[in-house]
Every structure is written in C-alpha cells, then in structure tokens.
Amino acid sequence: MHSIFSYLGGMKPQQTIDFHLRWGWTKLSKLYASEAERRGIPFSYVFILLHTERSGTPSTKLGPKMGMESTSLSRSLRGLEEMGWIQRRPDANDRRMMRVFLTEAGIDARRQARDLVVSVNQRLRQMLGAESVDRLLIEMRRLNEILDNPQTLVPSDRAL
C-alpha cells in the first residue's frame, strides 16, 4: 500500500504550499466565524458585505471576487435580503442585470464586519511584524499571479 508520501514524490504534506494555505485559512476562517457570530453576523455574509459597493455591485461580480459558486452566493444573498441587509434592484442602464445594494442595517453590519477583519489583521501584523506581513503579501500576490496562468505550472497532461 502506498502512502501519501509516495504520491507526493517523497515530499511530506507539510512541505507543500497548499497544505499551509488550507491549514492557515481553516484556522483563520474559524476565528472570523466565531468573532462574526459573536457580533451577530453569519460568517458567510462577511465578505459579501465587504465587497458590496455603495453604488451597488452587480450580483454576477460578487461570486468571482470571493471565489464563491453561484448557488452558494444566491443562497447567501437570499439570507441577506431576509435579514434586511441588502436589496437587489435592476441596473439603471441594463435592466437585465441585478445590482446588490446595502440597506442602512447592511451598512451597520458591514461596519462591524470591516472592524472584525481590520482588528484581526492589525493583531496579526503586531504579532508577526510589519516587515514579515508585507513580505507575505508580496509573495501571496506573486503566487496568485502565477496561479492565474495554471498552464505555466503543468505544461501538458503528459507531465502528470
């Protein structure tokens, strides 16, 4: 029986980038979720609130900004509407497009969501040091640029 190490070419999972990204995001999202819940905001709504612009945001642009599938986004938007935090209205120029707008209650919820994200990031910056965080952000941007062109990582199916 082969272990995962043989499938990773002798590399331990802890030596892979994806392991640390998933592990870190899992811990960070649990922290955000518990703090958001404490503030009365379901965590799945935090990033929608933060990505909704004052002039309204096309609902089709929200999912890609957050890496959400359209079914999850639709469910979350329905929940936000039921809570009275958003309104969906047709675009003034293109009636086929729906825009998402925050209500007054949604603006208050966004303020709390923003304060949550800012406070966690400020605390991490204090603990890790500004220089380390700046380096991490630069390297994460570079990684995302590389991942925008996945064909550069795996040139052909034969390489697998």
Q: How confident is the model over 52-102, as pLDDT tens digits?
A: 998 899 988 888 878 788 888 889 999 999 999 999 999 888 888 889 999
Q: How many CA atoms lie within 13 A of 19 on its CB side?
A: 8
Residue 154 located in a structural domain: no
Q: What is the pTM of this model?
A: 0.77
The parent domain of residue 82 ranges over 13-147
Residue 152 located in a structural domain: no
Q: What is the dihedral of CA 94, 61, 77, 21, to 10 degrees?
A: 180
Residue 124 located in a structural domain: yes
Distance set, CA 147 to CA 26, 73, 119, 141 (Å): 20, 23, 29, 10
Residue 157 located in a structural domain: no
Q: How confident is the model over 33-50, as pLDDT tens digits?
A: 999 999 999 988 999 999
**CA–CA gap between residue 115 and residue 121 (Å, rounded):** 10
